[in-house]
Structure 1
Amino acid sequence: MTRKLEFFFDFISPFSCVAFHALPHQLGDLTKQVEYRPMFLGAVMQATGNRPPGMVPAKAKYLPQDIQRCCRRYGITFRMNPHFPLMNTRPALRAACALADRPDDQKRFIETVFHHVWAATDPLNIEDREQFAGILKQAGFDPEQVLAGAENEEAKAQMKANTDDAIARGAFGAPSIFVGEELFFGHDRLDYAREALEAG
């Protein structure tokens, strides 16, 4: 049976955005073995006693230059979202869960949201339903369908299950990457994750 790489992420995490774009660079043809698992980072942090890097003054000073450096490596633009960190990403995460049975659409949706949250010249206020609908329409989605999916009880349950699963398996932040039961934290551990995939 082909092994899979489970990619646990939250749109609120800029390093999840970096990791999403790093996946094809690091995995190549193995990218098709990625399973995207949206989780609510706030619940993970609370359950594990972790806290955002921005709350540590030295890290807060370091992170802006570090994330720009990481983005340059993968050829992506990064702009700090003025709505960060007060962003309720749960509806968008649930929408991503609702698209799980359409993997190509799900991946394109994730890419669209990451771009508009962390790269667009007019950063997305993810809680503004009208603005959100606008970027979805622009990307070729049916906004009503996607937004309805975000309110689907099955999608809500799936996001909670993803979050609980990540916590139970040892995740403490985002992105959290699993190959089997082995955890790899952060975009800069994808080479190790690739080795685990190749080992079968």
Structure 2
Amino acid sequence: MSSKKVVELFFDVVSPYTWLAFEVMCRYRNVWNIDLKLRPGFLGGVMHGSGNKPPGLVPNKFLYMTKDLDRLARYFEVPLQAPSDPFEAMFEKGSLSAMRFVAAVQQQQQDGDKQVELVSRELWRRIWNQNQDITTPESLSEAAMKTGISASEVAELLRLSTTKEIKDKLKSTTQEALNHGAFGFPLMVCHVDGKPEMFFGSDRFELMAHCIGRHFVIPQERSGSDLSPNYQLPNFNL
């Protein structure tokens, strides 16, 4: 079997398209035999740094996005449902406090990357399935404790998330994404033969697979012989 290739996934839980990419990459991590690096960043910083504008500012794009997300959610079997006011959730409330919290989880927890996956999924569920806020300490605490993090650990994570150390960590990762050419999330960077290959969006998995010498099959066929027999979908019983 060929050696593992490194794929970085830069993400922000405010982005619904990134949730789709996040779940697909987690499903294919073992199938493709890759070393998946989860890189929590700040989408607002990427948009500002690249001069990009949110699609919600263009009415027709916003209308298309809502229909597109519904189709993609069913296709990828991710229980994504738009909150009552998607524009407010994505562009007015924002995700800075949530992503600082996720960055703190990655740094502080013993199995940081695994806990980042679990906590991030819970935050996505809150905003993009349960129509709940992800900006308050109470909401962050509830999401983290659902993944098995104790109340005392959560209190420390909340404290850590407000420190300069974590703020600088999130800024640094966001700048790394910009250095790769990011203008939005999801951003996936495949490291092949010493060179980074950047892919944007939740519709480039076939090209990514070709880039790293792997094969992508459509999600509905993930129980077939090409995929790991040990793979199980996350518990989406809400």
Q: Which TM-score tier does this pair reach, normalised by the shorter chain?
A: 0.7 to 0.9
Shift in CA distance, 24/105, structure 1 to aligned 2, threshold 3 Å:
closer
1:112 maps to 2:122: yes
The C-alpha deviation readout for 1:109-145, integer Å capped at 9, x for no partner, is: 111111111112xx22112222332232233223213
Equivalent pair of 1:24/1:31 in contact (CA under 8 Å):
no
Counterpart AA for 1:88? G
Q: Indicate the percent of aligned positions where both proteins have the same amino acid.
A: 26
SS at match of 2:212: helix
Structure 1 gaps, min length 5? none
What's the TM-score, normalizing by structure 2?
0.75
Superposed counterparts of 1:64-83, under 5 Å? 64-81=66-83, 82=85, 83=88
Segments of 4+ moved more than 6 angstroms? none
What does residue 84 of structure 1 align with? 89
Distance 1:95 1:131 in 2: 11
What does residue 99 of structure 2 align with? 93
The C-alpha deviation readout for 1:28-75, integer Å capped at 9, x for no partner, is: 433751111111111211122211111112211111110011111121
Q: Give the counterpart of 2:165 among 154, 179, 184.
A: 154
How many residues were matched structurally? 197
What does residue 8 of structure 1 align with? 10
Superposed counterparts of 1:122-141, under 5 Å? 123-141=131-149
What does residue 43 of structure 1 align with? 45
Structure with higher RCO (Cα < 8 A, 6+ apart): 1
Distance 1:29 1:145 in 2: 36
Q: Please identify which structure carries the higher helix content.
A: 1
What's the TM-score, normalizing by structure 1?
0.88
Structure 2 gaps, min length 5? 215-238
SS at match of 1:187: coil
